[in-house]
Every structure is written in structure tokens, then in C-alpha cells.
Amino acid sequence: MILNKLTINSRILLITAVKHSTFIRSIDSDLGDQMKILNDNKQYTKTLELFDKHKENIEKYSNWIIIQALKACSQTKDIKRGSNIHNWFHRD
């Protein structure tokens, strides 16, 4: 009986973790895709505004999002900001 409860609880935990992971990847993909569209339309300031809006989840950002933010920085010639973003995500 205890073994059954442990098995059921561990399955529930695993399912919850997978759903959460998929949700975060979906947010990353959606955010990165939105930023790409803005960059493609030369709306670099809006790209960076969108990046800033989601900054609270900075640890969860994918490389796709960082690339889009750096592209916007390079197009707006905001070297300092681009350098800060690069250093933040490539720190040890």
C-alpha cells in the first residue's frame, strides 16, 4: 500500500515537472518568436521593451531570446546594453 502511494506520488510529480518544463519552453519560444518578428520589422526598441518586460524570468531565458535582444542592441547601436546582456548570460 505504501509502495503504491509512493509510485503514484512520484508519477504525479514527474508529470507536473514535465508540464512545467514544456510551459517554460513554450513561453521562451513565443517570446523569442515575438522578438524576432519585431526585429524583422526593424522595431528594435520594441524588441528591447519586450525583453525588459520579461526580465524577471532572466534565468530562464533561452539563447534564442538572448540572440534577439543582442540583435536589437546592435541595430540601435547600444553597445553598452548589448555588452551587459552578453555578460549577464555568460557569467560563470
Rounded to whole angstroms, how far apart are CA atoms 12 and 20? 12
Rounded to whole angstroms, how far apart are CA atoms 57 and 54? 6
* pTM > 0.75: yes or no: no
Q: Does residue 8 fall inside a structural domain?
A: no
pLDDT in tens, 37-86: 999 999 999 999 999 998 777 666 778 898 999 999 999 999 999 999 88
Q: Does residue 14 fall inside a structural domain?
A: no
Q: Does residue 5 fall inside a structural domain?
A: no
pLDDT in tens, 2-48: 544 444 545 555 555 545 444 444 445 689 999 999 999 999 999 99
Total domains in the chain come to 1
Measured CA to CA in angstroms, residue 50 lies from 13, 22, 38 at distances of: 33, 21, 9
Chain mean position to CA 25:
8
Parent domain of 69: 28-89
